Amino acid sequence: MIKIIIIDDEPDAIASLELICNEFCDNVEITGTASTIQDAFESIKNNNPDLLLLDIDLPRGNAFDLIHKFPKNQFHVILISAFFNKYQKQISKNNIFACMEKPVDIEVLIEHINSINKICSDK
C-alpha cells in the first residue's frame, strides 16, 4: 500500500484528488492533505509518504521550495498545475515522476498512481 499526501491551495482540488484515489486506485492510503508549504512539510515529516500529489503554486512559495526541504528523494512527486511553462527548468532539474494539467485526466492519474504502486511494491 502506498501512502499519499495531497497538497493544493484549492480545497475543491484536494477533495477531487481524494475522491479519485479512494474510488479508483487500489492499495493507496491518503495519509494527509495540506494547503501551505509549512503544513505540507509537517505532514511529510509525520507521515513518510510514498507519493505527493503536488500543486506547483502555493501560498508563500512553490512546489520546488517544498521539495528542496527534503534533500534525499524520499517520495515520488506528481506535479499538478494549470500551467508549467515558467517552471520547465525546475521540473527538469528535480526528480518529478509526472506532470499533469488541471483539470486532471482521471485515467492518466490512475495509471501514474498504479505505476508508482508497482515501483514501491517491487522494492
The two most distant CA atoms of the chain are separated, in Å, by 37
Cβ-based neighbours of 61, under 8 Å, separated by 6 or more: 37
Give this prediction's pTM.
0.94
Q: What average pLDDT score do residues 71-81 get? A: 89
What integer pLDDT is reported at residue 84 of this predicted model? 65
Cβ-based neighbours of 41, under 8 Å, separated by 6 or more: 66, 69
Q: What average pLDDT score do residues 75-91 get? A: 82
Provide the residue range defining the domain that includes 43.
2-121
Least confident of 1-5, 50-54, 80-84, 108-112: 80-84
Provide the domain count of the chain: 1
What integer pLDDT is reported at residue 26 of this predicted model? 92
What integer pLDDT is reported at residue 86 of this predicted model? 73
Cβ-based neighbours of 16, under 8 Å, separated by 6 or more: 103, 104
**In the predicted model, is pLDDT for residue 97 greater than 70?**
yes
**In the predicted model, is pLDDT for residue 88 greater than 80?**
no
CATH code, domain with 36: 3.40.50.2300
Confidence of residue 94 (pLDDT cuts 50, 70, 90): confident
**Backbone phi, then psi, for 56, in 5-degree steps?**
-75, -55
Distance, in Å, from the CA atom of 65 to the CA atom of 32, rounded to the nearest integer, reads: 19
| Between 84 and 112, the higher pLDDT residue | 112
Percent of the chain at pLDDT exceeding 70:
98
Contact (Cβ atoms closer than 8 angstroms) between residue 37 and residue 66 = yes
